[in-house]
Chains A and B, each alone.
Chain A
Amino acid sequence: MARKLKPEFEDSIVMLLFIVVASIPMAVPIGIPVQVDAMTNKLYNIIENLPDGGIVLYDLTILNWFTNFQSDIAILKQILRRVRTGELYLVIMNEDTGSIMGIDKAWNTLKLGDLQYGVQWVWLGLVPGAENAEAAVAANVWAAKETDHYGTPLSQLPLMQRFHSIKDLVLVCTGMNTSPDPPCRQFGGKGVPLILQNGISTIPLMMPYVEAGVIVAYMTPGLQTAGYEKVLGELGLATSFADAQSVTVLYALLIMVLSNIMYYRRRRMKK
């Protein structure tokens, strides 16, 4: 540690080691048991206990396939189980073009071919305008969007005859990876439960809303989704990444310790 490397070389070494460390579980599966936390169980129970015949609105706003979208897919899998038995009905909307790109991959994973489109589920497609789109759909979805993603007028879709505003829903789910304020403002506090799928680092942002009862449950990518997949009995990408996540977290903690050791050694050497 006598010779000091340039900062960019130090960073490059840290990143290279990260790639090596993250690849370890691929070569040597570790199989650390995945725990299921209370929030995951709560989310599962909320969806299982939704009243029969209810309509669920799922707002997909992010296509981050390897992380957030896996959480969306897991939640949609549970909802679609009940849709297939005729207990629930599903309406999906997107808020930005990014979530539309590659959504075919999601539909293939969810295997929607056996569902009756227009009766059991509807895809509204892109409803642009971010928070304004959420407000418009919550107030009057027929005014917000006249056709679905395929150009079919809503009047020709039997499911949409029962869905005019948020009051006709039994659950709203929003998938995102940023501040939870907009969906909490527009969908929350209107008497309909709100579930958020959001990034791990947004948990502190969501907690005030969880405590206030605006968000009834949340799902985060990574470990929580791996636990959720365990509860569902359908393992997916989140489970396969769980070991890598553990290993990389340990690595991050290790570099924190190392950086402090290096820093104090250099300070002592300067003195």
Chain B
Amino acid sequence: MIVAGKRFEFILLMSILVLIYVGIWLARRGKTLQMKRLSCVDALEEAVGRASEMGTSVWYGTGNAGLEGQYATMNIAALSILGKVAELCGKYGVYLQYMCNIPHMLPISQDLIKEGYNKGGRPEMYNENMSQYVGGDQSSLVAATQGYILEKRPSVVMIFGATMYEMLNTLAFGSRVGAMMLAGTPRLYYQSATLLAADYQLIGDELYAAGAMVSGDPIQVGAIQGEDWSKIIILVLLVLFAIATNLALPWFKALTSW
């Protein structure tokens, strides 16, 4: 039934899918493994508190991507963190500015920020301008971000999600105005910028874990759990295959071409 040469791959795929499903199923029943503390998540409250003390705003961005394809999971995690930041801003009475250049992110972010301020205890602080759609492409997002940071001088700049080149510009301008910077993206290309310029980072898959942590959504937490189990299996297979390749064992080739 399965095409020759793809059987092992199919079995591995199904195993990973089953593990992720089992993780979600267990999480829905309240049985989750404890996740390690992430310094960036712990620093969210500290950052918003800093903005409150300095009487300035918090700038938040999710980058030049929306909820499509491989960027969906990244930006869902980023929007979960946005909801948490909005709640903290409501609690401390801080103005939160969110900017996006993808149309469908606007209504979602507006709902999240409004709900966040409600939960934080300051629903009257929310206004529509907190979530801005700045245009259709990356250049407009970069221009709007740079303009806001230079003009309003927020004391905290946060950029999470499926970010692209705008992350570098955002972090560079944040450092120009002396802002505290929190950043995180699973995108490989921008890990270096995150590590160089941000004060607190979420590296690679830590963004998904952070999104799950702050949202408390059992589906997200369970998926992270299943993902970790899958990685253990892949790690074991990697070690076995490395040994098999170096010893020129025949079963390795037979398995991968089965």
Contacts and interface: CB of A to CB of B under 8 A. Distances in A.
B188 A205 contact: yes
Contacts of B69: 130-131
B169 interface: no
Contact of B188 (A8, A11, A131, A179): A179
Which residue among B150, B172, B175, B188 has the maximum number of chain A CB atoms within 10 Å of its CB?
B188
Interface of B: 69-70, 150, 164, 172, 175-178, 187-189, 192
Contact of A179 (B172, B175, B176, B187): B187
Interface string A195-231: 0000001101100000000000000000000000000
Contact of B176 (A8, A130, A181): A8
Contacts of A152: none
8 contacts: A7-B178, A8-B150, A11-B172, A11-B175, A181-B70, A204-B188, A205-B188, A205-B189
A7 B177 contact: yes
Nearest to A204: B188
Q: Which of B70, B187, B189 lies at the interface centre, i.e. has the most chain A CB atoms within 10 A of its CB? A: B189
A178 interface: yes
Nearest to B190: A201
A179 B177 contact: no
Contacts of B176: 7-8, 11
Contacts of A130: 69
Interface of A: 7-8, 11, 130-131, 178-179, 181, 201-202, 204-205
A159 B78 CA distance: 47
A131 B71 CA distance: 12
Contacts of A7: 175-178
A179 B178 contact: no
A178 B177 contact: no
Contacts of B150: 8
Task: For the complex of A and B, list the 10 residue pairs with the smallest distance between their C-beta atoms, beginning with the closest.
Answer: A8-B176, A11-B176, A7-B176, A205-B188, A7-B178, A179-B189, A7-B175, A178-B189, A202-B189, A205-B189
A178 B178 contact: no
Contacts of B177: 7-8
Nearest to A11: B176
Contacts, number: 24
Contacts of A11: 172, 175-176
A205 B187 CA distance: 10
B101 to A, nearest CB: 14
A176 to B, nearest CB: 11
Contacts of B172: 11
Nearest to B178: A7
Contacts of B192: 201
A74 to B, nearest CB: 23
A260 B115 CA distance: 45
Given A8-B177, A11-B172, A179-B188, 5 more contacts: A7-B176, A11-B176, A179-B189, A204-B188, A205-B189
Nearest to A98: B137
A202 B191 CA distance: 12
Contacts of A131: 69
Nearest to A130: B69
Nearest to A10: B176
Contacts of B164: 178
Nearest to B176: A8
Nearest to B193: A201
Contact of A201 (B70, B178, B189): B189
B132 to A, nearest CB: 23
Nearest to A9: B176
A111 to B, nearest CB: 31
A8 B70 CA distance: 36
A7 B150 CA distance: 12
A205 B186 CA distance: 13
A208 to B, nearest CB: 10
A8 B177 CA distance: 6
Contacts of B178: 7
Nearest to A131: B69
A258 B25 CA distance: 55
A181 B189 CA distance: 11
Q: Which of A8, A181, A204 has the most CB of B within 10 A?
A: A8
Contacts of A178: 164, 189
A90 to B, nearest CB: 29
A170 B115 CA distance: 55
B70 to A, nearest CB: 8
Nearest to B174: A7
A18 B70 CA distance: 37
A11 B70 CA distance: 35
A131 B69 CA distance: 9
Nearest to B164: A178
A13 B106 CA distance: 37
A212 to B, nearest CB: 12
